């Protein structure tokens, strides 16, 4: 509810207009049968002069009702859309504060569904609330009273009608709530599967997994269908059931009017308007019931948005002034366990690195190189122990200081659709052409940026499909070096480069970024052989730290890796 309240702040005036218009609409609706009644009387009595007068009023009121209805609809739509946009934005802003752990907890496809489908449900709810929340109770009370006044003897028919319809609504409300939740979850899953498939479409195709993927998708889709049909069945029963109850109420009241007629002949005339009001009562109840139906679906959605809003970012940054951090990096007895995992991925790691040093990190796939690197820019927090940058615990610096100090170039380069410049400015918001040029020179990206007519303004397509793997990596490195960080982490970032470009990148880094501490992560010793010192990881443990020569001389695991790679290298060279 607070979500709705916060989002409604800007729309108070429109909401008041919508509500007033709704009230006006009800008055018109309740007035119309009365006038209709007198016009019918006039027609019966052949009083044509009266017909014109009342007819005029009838049309006037109908027009007023119509205008009020249009105003109500326009205002409600405006408010609903506006509020939905506010909620979406708030949720999106919140998601931006999420750490990797949070996003893993929701899964990104699920977040997408929440931002689209769920917010649409909420938008519908707001619309319905504004259209009916005032109108329906007024209509209900109005026709209830008028029915009671018309034939008081039949009060029990009215009460019975209300109770039975109330019960049906309440019952189906309960049943539906559960299934709406299930449906929403299945929609999540459908979306997740579709998204996973899209992202991995190349893999799916190259491993000829199309059939299996489709089978898996079909299973989930079938489940969704069954739930949809189930809910639909309740719906398809509900409307006729309501009608039946109301119609039976009419039959019963006409039947009992037969008994009343003996004492009060006037009942014959009153029964028409009585049944009319019964119909109105029923309409009010049905719309009310439908509203609560929709509401129950929207409440599920509201809950799912609330979950986003209530999630605390797993990492919090302290409110401290910006500070300049130098390139010293220290791990003090650091262990790390991934969220939802039990076994530690990193165990008791300690080392110290001086500003400006070139550090290589080697180890087999899955040895924890990426995991270790992620702790430096605080993508995750260490489970145990302390990580320091520039001599300060990373948990004690504010976010901007840390982002400015540490640049992390991902193993798999991710570029956003937009222009090259847009992507580079993610590394430094106000980067100018000169800075971009300098950075792309270092990363050896200039050679292909220059060939594009628009230069830095050249477009980057979705999934950066207009760049090769090596070009993406070089752009990604450019983005990393552009802010001139104190610490630069290249996580296997040169894997798609040919040996010559890789060498050029390394040399440029040595020459132009010599004050920056650089971590170069690789499985290949050849990529780190020139580093000042090399960290050797094995199954989450730090098993060696020293220069290539030192490690080669007395580190058995390093020797082992070196021997196997040397063998391969020679074979490859032949």
Ligand X SMILES: Nc1ncnc2c1ncn2[C@@H]1O[C@H](COP(=O)(O)OP(=O)(O)O)[C@@H](O)[C@H]1O
Q: Is 374 in the site for Mg ion (CB under 5 A)?
A: no
213 binds, among other proteins, ligand X, Mg ion, none (CB under 5 to 8 A by kind): other proteins
Listed as own residue / partner, the contacts of 271-277 with beta carbons closer than 8 Å and 24 or more positions apart are 271/151, 273/33, 273/37, 273/146, 273/150, 274/147, 274/150, 274/151, 274/154, 275/250, 276/33, 277/33, 277/143, 277/144, 277/146, 277/147, 277/150
- Binding segment for ligand X (CB under 6 A), chosen from 179-187, 338-346, 402-410, 555-563, is 338-346
Tokens at residue 331, please?
């791990």
Looking at the Cβ atoms of 90 and 112, the one nearer to other proteins is: 112
Among positions 345, 404, 476, 518, the unique one binding ligand X when judged by CB under 6 A: 345
In the bound state with other proteins, the residue whose beta carbon lies nearer, of 2 and 48, is 48
Site for Mg ion in 381-420 (CB under 5 A): 411
Stretch that binds ligand X, among 126-134, 261-269, 308-316, 368-376 (CB under 6 A): 368-376
Query: Cβ of residue 367: shortest distance to ligand X, in angstroms?
Result: 4
Cα–Cα distance measured from residue 174 to residue 450, given in angstroms and rounded to the nearest whole number: 64
What 3-state class would DSSP assign to 543?
Answer: strand
Neighbouring C-beta atoms of residue 514, cutoff 10 Å: 10
Q: Give the Cα separation of 507 and 530 in Å (integer).
A: 10
Candidates 369, 378, 425, 428; binder of ligand X (CB under 6 A) is 369
Specify whether the CB–CB gap between 528 and 358 falls below 8 A. Answer: no
- Provide, rounded to whole angstroms, the least separation between the CB of residue 384 and other proteins: 39
Closer residue to other proteins (CB): 161 or 542: 161
Count interface residues toward ligand X (CB under 6 A): 11
The tokens for 129 are: 């609330």
Determine the Cα–Cα distance for residues 536 and 567; give it in Å rounded to an integer: 20
Please identify, using beta-carbon distances, which residue of 2 and 365 lies nearer to ligand X.
Answer: 365
Please choose, out of 86-94, 153-161, 241-249, 337-345, the segment that lies near ligand X by the rule CB under 6 A. 337-345
Place of tokens 């009585």: 274
Is residue 370 at the binding interface for ligand X, with CB under 6 A as the rule? yes
Report the C-alpha gap between 223 and 560 in whole angstroms. 52
The reply on whether position 370 binds Mg ion by CB under 5 A is yes
Closest CB 342 distance from Mg ion, rounded Å: 21
Task: Give me the least distance between CB of 240 and other proteins, in Å please.
Answer: 4
Give the shortest CB-407-to-Mg ion separation in angstroms: 17
**Alpha helices, H only, 98-209:** 100-106, 108-113, 119-132, 135-150, 155-199, 201-206
Distance in angstroms (rounded) separating the CA atoms of residues 357 and 534: 11
What are the angstrom distances between the C-alpha of 284 and each of 62, 132, 136, 145?
A: 19, 9, 5, 13
Site string for Mg ion, 286-325 (x = CB under 5 A): ----------------------------------------
Rule CB under 6 A: say whether 342 interacts with ligand X. no
* 65: partner contacted, choices Mg ion, ligand X, other proteins, none (Cβ within 5-8 A by kind): other proteins
């Amino acid at each position: 509810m607070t979500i709705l309240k916060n989002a409604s702040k800007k729309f108070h005036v429109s909401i008041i207009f919508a509500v007033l218009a709704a009230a006006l609409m009800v008055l018109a609706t309740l007035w119309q049968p009365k006038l209709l009644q007198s016009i019918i009387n006039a027609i019966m009595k052949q009083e044509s002069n009266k017909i014109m007068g009342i007819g005029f009023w009838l049309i006037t009121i109908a027009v007023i009702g119509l205008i009020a209805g249009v105003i109500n609809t326009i205002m409600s739509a405006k408010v609903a859309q506006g509020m939905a946009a506010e909620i979406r934005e708030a949720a999106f802003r919140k998601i931006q504060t999420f750490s990797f752990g949070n996003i893993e907890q929701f899964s990104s496809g699920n977040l997408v569904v929440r931002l689209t489908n769920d917010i649409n449900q909420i938008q519908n709810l707001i619309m319905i609330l504004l259209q009916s929340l005032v109108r329906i109770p007024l209509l209900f009370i109005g026709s209830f009273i008028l029915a009671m006044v018309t034939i008081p003897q039949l009060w029990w028919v009215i009460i019975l009608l209300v109770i039975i319809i109330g019960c049906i609504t309440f019952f189906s409300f309960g049943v539906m709530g559960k299934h709406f939740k299930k449906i929403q979850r299945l929609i999540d899953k459908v979306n997740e599967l579709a998204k996973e498939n899209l992202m991995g479409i190349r893999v799916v195709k190259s491993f000829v997994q199309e059939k299996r993927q489709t089978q898996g998708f079909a299973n989930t889709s079938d489940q969704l269908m069954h739930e949809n049909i189930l809910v639909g069945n309740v719906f398809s029963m509900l409307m006729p059931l309501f009608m039946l109850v109301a119609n039976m109420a009419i039959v019963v009241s006409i039947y009992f009017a037969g008994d009343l007629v003996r004492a009060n002949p006037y009942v014959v005339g009153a029964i028409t308007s009585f049944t009319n009001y019964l119909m109105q009562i029923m309409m009010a109840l049905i719309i009310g019931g439908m509203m609560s139906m929709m509401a129950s679906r929207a409440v599920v959605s509201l809950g799912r948005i609330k979950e986003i809003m209530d999630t605390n970012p797993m990492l919090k940054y302290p409110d401290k002034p910006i500070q300049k951090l130098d390139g010293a990096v220290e791990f003090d007895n650091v262990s790390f366990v991934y969220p939802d995992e039990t076994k530690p991925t990193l165990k008791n790691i300690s080392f110290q690195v001086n500003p400006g040093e070139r550090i290589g990190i080697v180890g087999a796939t899955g040895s924890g190189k990426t995991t270790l690197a992620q702790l430096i820019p605080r993508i995750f927090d260490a489970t145990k122990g302390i990580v320091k940058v520039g001599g300060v615990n990373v948990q004690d610096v504010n976010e901007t200081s840390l982002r400015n100090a540490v640049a992390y170039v991902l193993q798999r380069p991710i570029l956003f659709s937009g222009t090259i410049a847009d992507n580079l400015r993610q590394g430094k918001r106000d980067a100018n052409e000169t800075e971009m040029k300098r950075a792309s020179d270092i990363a050896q990206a200039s050679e292909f940026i220059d060939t594009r007519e628009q230069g830095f303004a050249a477009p980057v397509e979705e999934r950066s499909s207009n760049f090769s793997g090596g070009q993406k990596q070089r752009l990604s490195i450019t983005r990393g070096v552009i802010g001139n960080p104190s610490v630069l982490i290249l996580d296997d970032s040169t894997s798609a480069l040919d040996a010559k470009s890789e060498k050029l990148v390394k040399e440029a880094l040595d020459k132009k970024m010599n004050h920056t501490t650089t971590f170069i992560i690789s499985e290949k010793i050849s990529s780190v052989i020139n580093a000042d010192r090399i960290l050797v990881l094995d199954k989450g443990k730090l098993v060696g730290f020293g220069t290539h020569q030192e490690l080669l001389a007395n580190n058995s695991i390093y020797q082992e890796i070196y021997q196997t790679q040397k063998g391969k290298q020679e074979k490859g060279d032949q």
